[in-house]
Structure 1
Amino acid sequence: MRRNTESIYQQKVNHIIDYISANLYNPLKLDILARQIHVSQRQLLRIMNSYLDESIYTYIARQRVERSILYMQAKDINLSKIAEMVGYNNPQSFSKAFKKHFGISPRAYMNTFQDRLKGYVKNSDNLINTLECEICEEKEDLELIYIRIIGKYGEDKPYETAWNKLVCFLKNNQAISNETRYIGLSYDNPNVTQSEYCRFYACASVNKKITPTGEFGSIKLQKGKFAVYILKGNYSGLQELYNNISINFDHTLRHGITFEEYISYSDINKEKQITKVYIPIK
């Protein structure tokens, strides 16, 4: 495949993956998706099948039921509403799809899921006994340029390569300043999603218009209220922090994207690193 053609295809893949993620509540039919990137349905299947390790039908179905687990952790949303939020006409259709993927009903899954989280926290080598958070308000939307990694979270080489590519792209576009914020978007919960399918977006904020090319994409973080938790030390502690937050969360979630902001980084002493985790709340 020629380099220019590959770059165009990567942009189309980015668009489709981001469109699916933002529109799981809608009917995601092939003709609708194909129109998004101005190709035929046959071309769409060929492009996406070459990028995904599963068919686009399986990918969408998996995204729907895995996203539902996030919503089910919000105690104030009933099953009918959750079914609607992930694109099913009724709770029966949703429950059938959920059981097909996970092997048990949504209610049974959530019971075992919470028990698993408590077990992870209890058996942690570095148990966080207390969770402290501050409430903050992001006053403006945040425009981000990203590069996507698919695979096990936190693997050194893919992450180092991705961040280096991102910084290089921003420098070439003269888009790095003292106001640049470095952001991580972990779209999948590794307690739910198989590690080889986990999506991580290495991002940086930009304050001018940049047209992404090739493997780079753009996304907007919506302004709003967030519960902010702080991790001091190695990034390997992030999953433990997320597990603790999940079983001790006492705020009401709102629709939005959870994100990480990397405040300080040290290649020499990782214990000096500071990461903030922002969770959207009402």
Structure 2
Amino acid sequence: MDNKSLTEKDYRERVNNVLVFINKNLGEKLDLNILASVSNFSPFHFHRIVRAFINEPLGTYIIRLRVEMAAGLIENTDLSITDICFKVGYDSLSSFNKAFKKRFDISPSEYRENKNAKLNYMKENDMEAQINLLNFKLKPKVKDYKNKKAVYIQSFGDYSGPATGESWNKIFEFVKKNRLFHWKTECFGISLDNPDITETDKCRYMACVTVSKEVKPDGEVGVTNIEGGRFAVFRYRGPYSNLNLVYAAIIRRWLPQSGYDLREQPLMEKYLNNPAKTKPERLLTEIYVPVQ
């Protein structure tokens, strides 16, 4: 395809490839030539093109993802700060500390020491009392799952906001148009960021629909393998607006006494009925928590 025949759809597909590559390789060296080659854009114009689609300089985007990944590791693992520094792609502890402090206004060590301070939002919102009102049973089924092929659209913003709904509308339109629905079709929502760490407008969400046949990427519609492995699967009945409380209950109450650790993989939601045809209090959602 020559440059004159490129459409906005082609550009979105190429940018999508870059974002997927970055997400899978945050711990590796990500220089201009490597990323430009993934996108098949000229290195000369690469940064300008990508920024136009993600509304953020690419270098800033990569640094932000790395330090936010580091924050999650600090909060949820016992890895040393040095090990985390190298794991998220830094080869200098001083550079890592500087980037982390710029993002969170405290050093990585201070962040680890102030876990209680980071959880104050729970107390301020009386989250424990709200969890008690959920009537949510912390009795998951722990199973091993295989990879699943899916088409998806990624959005940025509040997970309960309009961008998420728009992504689902678009992906359903694509699946229907291409006759990809089948009796085993499943709908997964993958939240790639923790809204307690990442600014709301930058939170990434993937609206995924599983497919049983080969599909090619098409503009903003990407193709992915939903990674399998061992999951603790919880079933929740109720409005999506309470999912943050469900996650809090799982992490605060179930995980510490479960004997499991979290794997480095996003939590997922599997939607079992149609919110357009179901009352909020009857919505069924399975929460997939990656464990080891």
- TM-score w.r.t. the length of structure 2 is 0.88
| Code of the aligned partner of 2:154 | R
Structure-to-structure mapping, 1:1-282, within 5 angstroms: 5-110=7-112, 111=115, 112-120=117-125, 121-122=127-128, 124=130, 127-128=133-134, 132-155=138-161, 157-248=162-253, 249-250=255-256, 251-267=260-276, 268-282=278-292
Query: Per-residue displacement from partner, 1:33-69 (whole Å, max 9, x unpaired)?
Result: 0111122222211211111222111111001011112
- Structure 2's unaligned 5+ residue stretches are none
Contact 1:128 1:244 in 2 (8 A): no
1:199 CA drift (Å):
1.1
Cα separation, partners in 2 of 1:130 and 1:276, compared to 1, 3 Å: closer
Deviations 1:76-96 (A, max 9, x none): 322222112211124433222
- Once residues 165 and 5 of structure 2 are traced to their aligned partners in structure 1, the CA distance between those partners, rounded to angstroms, is 23
Q: Could you say if the C-alpha distance between residues 167 and 131 of structure 1 is closer, same or farther in structure 2, counting changes exceeding 3 Å?
A: same
**How far apart, CA to CA, are the structure 1 residues paired with 2:135 and 2:59?**
42
Q: Which moved more, 1:13-22 or 1:220-229?
A: 220-229
Q: Count residues with an aligned counterpart.
A: 281
Mapped to 2, the partners of 1:118 and 1:271 lie a distance apart of: 25
For 1:73 and 1:264, locate their aligned partners in 2 and report how far apart those are by CA, in whole Å: 33
| Aligned 8 A contact 1:117 1:247 in 2 | no
Q: Quote the offset at 1:123 in angstroms.
A: 6.2
Q: CA RMSD in A?
A: 2.3
CA distance in 1, matches of 2:32, 2:139: 43
**C-alpha separation in 2, matches of 1:218 and 1:116:** 37
Structure 1: runs of 5 or more not aligned:
none
Say whether the 8 Å CA contact 2:164–2:205 is kept in structure 1: no
For residues 78 and 133 of structure 1, what CA distance do their matches in structure 2 show? 32
CA distance in 1, matches of 2:129, 2:101: 29
* TM-score (structure 1 length as normaliser): 0.91
Compared CA separation, residues 280 and 28, structure 1 to 2 (3 A): same
Three-state SS of the structure 1 residue aligned to 2:151 is strand
How big is the shift at 1:116? 3.3
1:173 Cα deviation (Å)?
A: 1.8
Query: Deviation per CA, 1:118-142, whole angstroms, max 9, x where unpaired?
Result: 5442364874577614243343211
SS of the residue aligned with 1:148? strand
